[in-house]
């Protein structure tokens, strides 16, 4: 027998009592009936275990072992206690597969949620749209209301307008002067450098739809002087005043009398030759004033045109 097969010493192997005798295990020939009973019990237990194993095999029939080699070794050696149960084989599952399955499940869940709540979502969108339109309508109504209040306030205001100033502003906005003309207080004026007699100058102005200039007040007179750039000392140019119908009774080319305003130079009018019946400007010592002269002399001139008349450019 090997060391593993040697029986372990019994409790009576050590010396006991006064005589110090050593107890030895009984020989096989002296085996008592109780030993046979133990063998029978062991046999019965083994048969029961095998029956349980067969029952487990029948219940789990068709389930492959996770490791068939290990199962064969166990069946050959007879080792192990209790029924041998075949374990099911688990398929290998990667993380990518689980992620794909989770994504698919989430997509299906979202689709199912949308289908189940489609009518509610449509209702919410309709309600929000109606609320937005209502807000816009309210804002528009408020703007209209404020505009109505402003119009009512303006209509109730007592606006005082200066008729003269308003008329002048209106005239300025409506003035459309011919080419080369400059506007002043609603009338267009132009300085012509070509030398002509008084009658020829009047005809040229008529061709543009106007007359020779008529400085009936100080402001117009100053504007006409500013238009003409004197070429030299004693420079002279015509405007629309004369006394050809009656000596000493000066009138404008439109037939109206001279009036109270005048800008005669020193000693003027003199009618030195008895035929000085037409009036023009004379530039002396840096100042421009009126003087009478013979109508047949050729001089430059200034025309005026009333806006709104048919004019030729």
Specify the pLDDT at position 165.
45
Element (H, E) at 114: helix 95-116
Take residue 105 and report the two structure tokens written for it: 């499940």
193 within some domain: yes
Q: How far is CA 72 from CA 21, 58, 60, 86, 162, in A?
A: 50, 17, 17, 12, 126
- Spatial CA neighbour of 227 closest among 242, 241, 237: 237
- CA separation for the pair 88, 128 (Å, rounded): 57
Domain boundary among 72, 87, 102: 87
Q: Are 251 and 258 in contact (CB under 8 A)?
A: yes
Neighbours of 240 (CB within 10 A): 26
In a shared domain, residues 82 and 186:
no
Preceding peptide of 269 cis, ω within 30°:
yes
Domain boundary among 87, 115, 145: 87
Is the model's pLDDT at 156 over the cut of 80? no
State mean pLDDT over 5-11.
47
Specify the pLDDT at position 192.
95
Q: Which residues contact 204 (CB under 8 A, 6 or more apart)?
A: 192, 194, 196, 301, 303
6 within some domain: no
The three-state DSSP-derived secondary structure of 8-44 is: CCCCCCCCECCCCECCCCCCHHHCCHHHHHHHHHHHH
What's the domain range around 56? 37-87
Specify the pLDDT at position 260.
94
* pLDDT tens track for 183-210: 999 999 999 999 999 999 999 999 999 9
* pLDDT tens track for 258-273: 999 999 999 999 888 8
- Spatial CA neighbour of 206 closest among 101, 79, 304, 90: 304
Local confidence band at 75 (pLDDT 50, 70, 90 cut-offs): low
Beta partners for residue 283, in sequence order: 288
CATH number for the domain that contains residue 203: 3.10.100.10
Specify the pLDDT at position 244.
93
User: What's the sign of the alpha-carbon dihedral 305, 254, 225, 278?
Assistant: positive
280 within some domain: yes
Total structural domains in the chain?
Answer: 2
In a shared domain, residues 188 and 286:
yes
Q: What is the DSSP string of 217-233?
A: SHHHHHHHHHH----ST
52 within some domain: yes
- CA separation for the pair 289, 228 (Å, rounded): 12
Q: For a pLDDT cut of 70, what percent of the chain falls above it? A: 59
22 within some domain: no
Neighbours of 88 (CB within 10 A): 12
**Residue pointed to by tokens 């109505």:** 148
* 257 three-class SS: strand
214 within some domain: yes
Q: Are 281 and 228 in contact (CB under 8 A)?
A: yes
- Spatial CA neighbour of 204 closest among 123, 303, 59: 303
pTM: 0.45
104 within some domain: no
Q: Which residue has the higher pLDDT, 230 or 67?
A: 230
């Amino acid at each position: 027998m090997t060391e593993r097969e040697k029986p372990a010493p019994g409790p009576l192997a050590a010396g006991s009592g006064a005589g110090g005798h050593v107890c030895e295990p009984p020989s096989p020939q002296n085996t008592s009936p109780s030993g046979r009973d133990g063998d029978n019990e062991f046999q019965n237990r083994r048969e029961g275990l095998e029956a349980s194993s067969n029952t487990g095999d029948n219940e789990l029939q068709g389930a492959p072992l996770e490791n068939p080699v290990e199962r064969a070794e166990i069946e050959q050696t007879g080792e192990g206690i209790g029924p041998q149960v075949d374990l099911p084989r688990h398929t290998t599952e990667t993380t990518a597969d689980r992620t794909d399955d989770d994504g698919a499940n989430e997509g299906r869940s979202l689709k199912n949620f949308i289908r189940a709540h489609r009518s509610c979502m449509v209702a919410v969108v309709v309600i929000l749209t109606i609320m937005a339109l209502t807000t816009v309508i309210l804002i528009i109504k408020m703007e209209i209301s404020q505009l109505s209040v402003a119009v009512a306030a303006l209509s109730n205001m007592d606006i005082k307008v200066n008729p003269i100033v308003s008329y002048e502003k209106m005239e300025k906005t409506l003035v459309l002067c011919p080419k080369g003309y400059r506007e002043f207080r609603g009338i267009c004026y132009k300085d012509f450098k070509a030398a002509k007699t008084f009658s020829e100058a009047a005809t040229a102005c008529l061709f543009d739809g106007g007359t020779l200039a008529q400085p009936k007040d100080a402001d117009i007179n100053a504007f006409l002087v500013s238009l003409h750039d004197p070429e030299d000392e004693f420079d002279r140019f015509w405007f629309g005043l004369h006394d050809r119908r009656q000596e000493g009774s000066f009138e404008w080319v439109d037939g109206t009398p001279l009036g109270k305003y005048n800008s005669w130079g020193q000693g003027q009018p003199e009618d030195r030759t008895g035929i000085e019946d037409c009036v023009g400007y004379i530039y002396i010592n840096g100042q421009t004033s009126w003087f009478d002269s013979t109508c047949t002399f050729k001089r430059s001139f200034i025309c005026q045109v009333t806006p709104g008349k048919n004019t030729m450019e």
